Amino acid sequence: MTTSARGATGKTADPALLVLEDGRTFRGRAFGAVGETFGEAVFSTGMTGYQETLTDPSYHRQVVVMTAPHVGNTGVNDEDPESARIWVAGYVVRDPARTPSNWRATRSLDQELRDQGVVGISGVDTRALTRHLRERGAMRVGIFSGEAAARSEAELLAAVRGVPAMKGADLCGEVATQQAYVVPAIGEKRFTVAAVDLGIKGMTPHRMAERGIEVHVLPAGASVEDIYAVRPDGVFFSNGPGDPATAEHPVALMRAVLERGTPLFGICFGNQILGRALGFGTFKLKYGHRGINQPVQDRTTGKVEVTAHNHGFAVDAPLDRVSDTPYGRAEVSHVCLNDDVVEGLRLLDKPAFSVQYHPEAAAGPHDAAYLFDRFVELMRDNNQHSATLMEDQRA
């Protein structure tokens, strides 16, 4: 052992090594489980919400670097997770809290990472690492501690370079539910929504349920018949991990929904699926957007909102004009003010829209919650329209 330090438990933490695919290394201490892990190194600028980050299924196969220097202050509780387990492949922090303190906490972050077998590293200069990823782009990484670190750096680097890249990764099937389930409406039921789970975060159906929506969450492999079997007033496509260029089945499903004109809403991966369904391309951003402080402009109102993000890919659609698509006219409805990345799409001739960011904001500001209300309005207007047509037929 070359270095040692007291970990959160008071035990001596093993040294750990972080190896990037371009050969840069960072030394630190084991945090969470001891062993090895691999993934795509990405950074999140969220100052709060680490439990929600860890349990967001969109982080599957990603090693998350926290730019906030001090992580773990409020420990871990049973209410904040966005899914039933931690999905990040590895976790990189500068200075973990030694003594968590919060009335809801039942355990420490270090303990939770160990219990779930998630390998992390602490004591890393996360500012230098983040700058490196900003300059060179997101890239593959490995974290090694204990026995796993007892190899030459050349061997560790070869192992990192052997793992699959995020570009071309088809991952939704690995995180989505296998069984359909229902999230009941809170209060009076007003609408039924079929939500295609591509890696859904728990807060998303909750935000719909709060608005009187009964949400039928369906597996990623659901058929068009499965969707319409629930007699939906609207269809939702969730966030999810991996490269949207691989998502053939969700694109086909969405096209069937657009064909029928059922009100449609997509979040994050769902926005990329809508982009593809309309005939736009998607591409990998250099280092993506992750955090809860990204400025986005709603181009329909001109208003700027501060929003929660987690995406490494984006839709390639023109910002300066309305596009003709097989489903009518479409436009970019939202744009990121940092870099002009497409953050939302809207159809002008059909009740369909999507955003690249997270209006459910778990964690994050609630500026974008109005998007769930827009979905409700689309369903309400569509139902009224159908009712009028029925009356016309009877007259």
Ligand X SMILES: NC(=O)CC[C@H](N)C(=O)O
* Residues acting as catalytic residues: 268, 358, 360
* Binding residues with ligand X: total (CB under 6 A): 11
Ligand-binding annotation for 191, yes or no, is no
Residue 138 or 156 having the CB closest to ligand X: 138
241 binds ligand X (CB under 6 A): yes
> Minimum Å distance from CB 52 to ligand X?
12
> Minimum Å distance from CB 297 to ligand X?
20
Ligand-binding annotation for 58, yes or no, is yes
- Please, how many CA atoms are within 13 Å of residue 273, restricted to the half-sphere of its CB? 33
Binding mask 328-347 for ligand X (x = CB under 6 A): --------------------
| Local structure of residue 104 (DSSP, 8 states) | T
Binding to ligand X, residues 43-72 (CB under 6 A)? 58
Interface segment toward ligand X; rule CB under 6 A; list 73-81, 144-152, 255-263, 306-314:
306-314
357 binds ligand X (CB under 6 A): no
313 binds ligand X (CB under 6 A): yes
Tokens representing 74 are 């409020």
Residue 346 or 358 having the CB closest to ligand X: 358
Interface segment toward ligand X; rule CB under 6 A; list 13-21, 118-126, 223-231, 236-244:
236-244
Look at residues 370, 355, 354, 357 and name the one whose alpha carbon lies nearest to residue 307. 357
294 binds ligand X (CB under 6 A): no
- Alpha-carbon span 271 to 274, nearest angstrom: 5
375-388 residues labelled b (16+ CB within 10 A) or e (exposed):
bbebbeebeeeeee
Tokens representing 341 are 């990345």
The answer to whether 245 touches 170, Cβ cutoff 8 Å, is: no
Q: Which residues contact 91 (CB under 8 A, 6 or more apart)?
A: 31, 32, 54, 63, 64, 66, 113, 118, 119, 120, 121
Of 240, 263, 266, 364, which one interacts with ligand X (CB under 6 A)?
Answer: 240
Contact positions vs ligand X (CB under 6 A): 58, 239-242, 268-269, 310-313
